[in-house]
Structure 1
Amino acid sequence: MTEPLLRRLHARGERLTVGALPWVAPVYRAMPQVSTVVELPFAHGGLQWAARRALARQLRGQFDVAYVCPNSLKSALLPWWAGVPKRVGYQGESRYVLLNKRLPNPPEGERPPMVAFYSALSGQTGLEQDQPHLQLDQHAVAQALQTLQLQPQGFYVFAPGAEYGPAKRWPARHFAALARQLQLPVVLLGSAKEAALCHEIATAVTAAKPGQCVDLSGRTSLDQALALIAAAKAMVSNDSGLMHVAAAFGVPQVAVFGSSSPMHTPPLSAKAQVLWLKTDASYHPPLDCAPCFARECALGHTRCLNDIQPSDVLRYL
Structure 2
Amino acid sequence: MAQPLYQRLKAYRPHVHLSVMAPDWTLPLLERMPEVDATLRNPFGHGALKMGQRWRLGRSLRGQFEQAIVLPNSFKSALVPWFARIPLRTGFVGESRFGLLNDARTLYPKALPQMVERFAALAEGPGKPLPRPLPAPRLTIQVGAQQTALRELGLSADRPIVAFCPGAEYGPAKRWPARHFAELARRLVSQGYAVWLFGSAKDKPETDAIARMAGVELVDLAGRTSLAQAIDLLSLAHLVVTNDSGLMHVAAALQRPVVALYGSSSPEFTPPLSERAEIVSLDLECSPCFERNCPLKHFDCMEKLDSDLVEAAIARTLTKPPGTPASPYIPVVPV
**TM-score, normalised on structure 2?**
0.87
Q: Deviations over 1:102-145 (max 9, x none)?
A: 110235x7751011110000016313433211112221122112
Cα displacement (A) at 1:307: 1.0
Question: Corresponding residue for 1:7?
Answer: 7
Q: What residue is the counterpart of 1:69 in the other structure?
A: 71
2:57 maps to a residue whose letter is L
Which residue of structure 2 aligns with residue 225 of structure 1? 230
Letter in 2 for 1:202: A
Q: Which residue of 1 aligns with 2:326?
A: none
Alpha carbon RMSD of aligned pairs, Å?
Answer: 1.6
The one-letter amino acid paired with 2:68 is: A
The counterpart of 2:218, out of the listed 213, 219, 233, is: 213
String of CA shifts for 1:255-281, please: whole Å, max 9, x gaps: 000011100100011111100111xxx
Gaps of 5+ in 2: 316-335
Task: Determine which of 184, 188, 192 is the counterpart of 2:201.
Answer: 192
Residue aligning to 1:283: none
Q: 2:123 matched to which residue of 1?
A: 122
Shift, 1:56, TM fit: 1.4
Q: How far is 1:252 from its partner? A: 0.5
Mapped contact 2:159–2:194 kept (Cα < 8 A): no
Change (3 A) 1:66 1:273: same
Greater displacement, 150-159 / 25-34:
150-159
Instruction: State the partner residue of 1:258.
Output: 263
Deviation at 1:154, TM superposition (A): 3.0
Corresponding residue of 2:88: 86
Q: Equivalents in 2 of 1:301, 1:45: separation in Å?
A: 32
Q: Which amino acid aligns with 2:35?
A: Q
- 1:3-82 equivalences under 5 Å are 3-11=3-11, 12-13=13-14, 14-82=16-84
**Inter-partner Cα distance in structure 2 for 1:186 and 1:90:** 42
User: How many residues matched?
Assistant: 304
| Per-residue Cα deviation, 1:53-83 (whole angstroms, up to 9, x for no partner) | 2221221111000011111111111111111
SS in 2 for 1:129: coil
Asked if the contact 2:159/2:193 (under 8 Å) is kept, the reply is no
Partner of 1:284: none
Instruction: Quote the Cα distance in structure 2 between the aligned partners of 1:253 and 1:131.
Output: 14
Given candidates 182, 187, 205, the residue that maps to 1:176 is: 182
Q: Counterpart of 2:163?
A: 157
> Cα gap change, 1:154/1:39 in structure 2, threshold over 3 Å: closer, same or farther?
farther
Give a deviation string over 1:223-266, Cα, whole Å, max 9, x none.
00101111111111100111011111110010000011100100
- Within 1, Cα distance between the matches of 2:112 and 2:263? 19
Q: CA deviation at 1:21?
A: 0.3
**What percentage of residue pairs aligned between the two structures are identical?**
47
Asked whether the 8 Å contact 1:153–1:232 carries over to 2, the reply is no
Query: Does 2:302 correspond to 1:296?
Result: no
Query: CA offset at residue 44 of structure 1?
Result: 2.9
1:104 aligns with 2:101: no
Q: Give distance in 2, aligned partners of 1:129 and 1:33.
A: 15
Q: 1:290 to 1:221 in 2, by over 3 A?
A: same
Q: Which residue of 1 is the match for residue 328 of structure 2?
A: none
Verify the 8 A CA contact 1:152 1:231 in the aligned structure 2. Answer: no
Q: Find out whether 1:306 has 2:303 as its counterpart.
A: yes
CA–CA distance in 2 between the matches of 1:37 and 1:246?
A: 22
Write the letter of the residue equivalent to 1:232: A
